Structure 1
Amino acid sequence: MRTIELLEDWQRKCRIKQRAHNVEAGSLVRRNRLIGIPAVVLSAALGSGLLGATQTLLGGRLRIFAGIAGIAAAILTAIQMSANNYGAAERHRSAGAHFDSLSREIEQSLAICPVSEDIPLQTLETIRKELDSLSERAPALALELLEERRSASVSEASRGRRFEDSPYNTITS
């Protein structure tokens, strides 16, 4: 395999992983909203129902304490749930941005070096080490998601679509 073909392959893999991480980040945010918002609403409704039910059983101070405890429990539950999904979403978003950055670095290397010349070994080593490091640090992706992104990439390439024209391109100018 020629060095240019190798870099093009690495760039394609970076773009696939970048898109997959961005899709996963969006999925985690949506999942958090689907679970978190109803949890807050239900907890608040239950908390206010508890206040109504205990109105005749508890004194004024105990009712206020029970209400505050119920609301605090709802808020804490929502924070606990959203922190995990939002944290994971941010890790995926960050990994996607790093893969995108590496893809641009590869693109720059390809643009600087004429097709007839080989890319310096030092440049290849630097890119390979960065790709290896990024792959180790990045959160895991479901194999189904990676296959889906690969299939989308292949179908876009067969139709002559460029990455910049893709609906999966999350980079804004």
Structure 2
Amino acid sequence: MAATPPVCDFGWKAVDASLIGTDGQVHSILAQAGRRGLVVAFICNHCPYVKAVIKRIVRDARDLREFGVGFVAINSNDDTAYPADSYENMQRFARENAFPFHYLHDADQSVARTYGAACTPDFFGINGGGELQYRGRLDASRKEEGSPDMRRDLFEAMKQVANAGQGPREQIASIGCSIKWRESA
């Protein structure tokens, strides 16, 4: 089922946590930040919305480095009910897509709850001061691959954040599959 996250809560302070990455090491979320910002992306392995845009997510993560913006991806889905989102499948997905960023496993879903993540993909653009400045879409595509010349909403917003410390006031929410919550959570 498709879900849409709420609009950006400008100034919300990003919360840190340490999670295991697909490289087998534990990583701090906020340690992934560049000097001018960080994108925290909630994704998963099986979502058709994520699969349709994963190459562009990887491209934007690489391109944002030039602007001092780091990138980290987190999978918070219930991998018991959705085995395609298991840690082992996360490792495979990261390898197959040559992730230039850490892909972290939020096994207890506490990070997704803290951030208020609603869907995959769900992007949180943080400025150099650790404040939320973007909570929007990657681009105008949905479950389709989209044209290569499509406006890069996340990329353009994070360039603005890197340069001015503030995100655009007009943002279009991401859309994707809802986070798969554990029943006991």
TM over 0.5, shorter chain = no
More helix per residue: 1
Sort the TM-score into its range (normalised by shorter chain): under 0.3
The structure that has the greater radius of gyration is 1
Give the TM-score normalised by structure 1. 0.22
Give the TM-score normalised by structure 2. 0.21
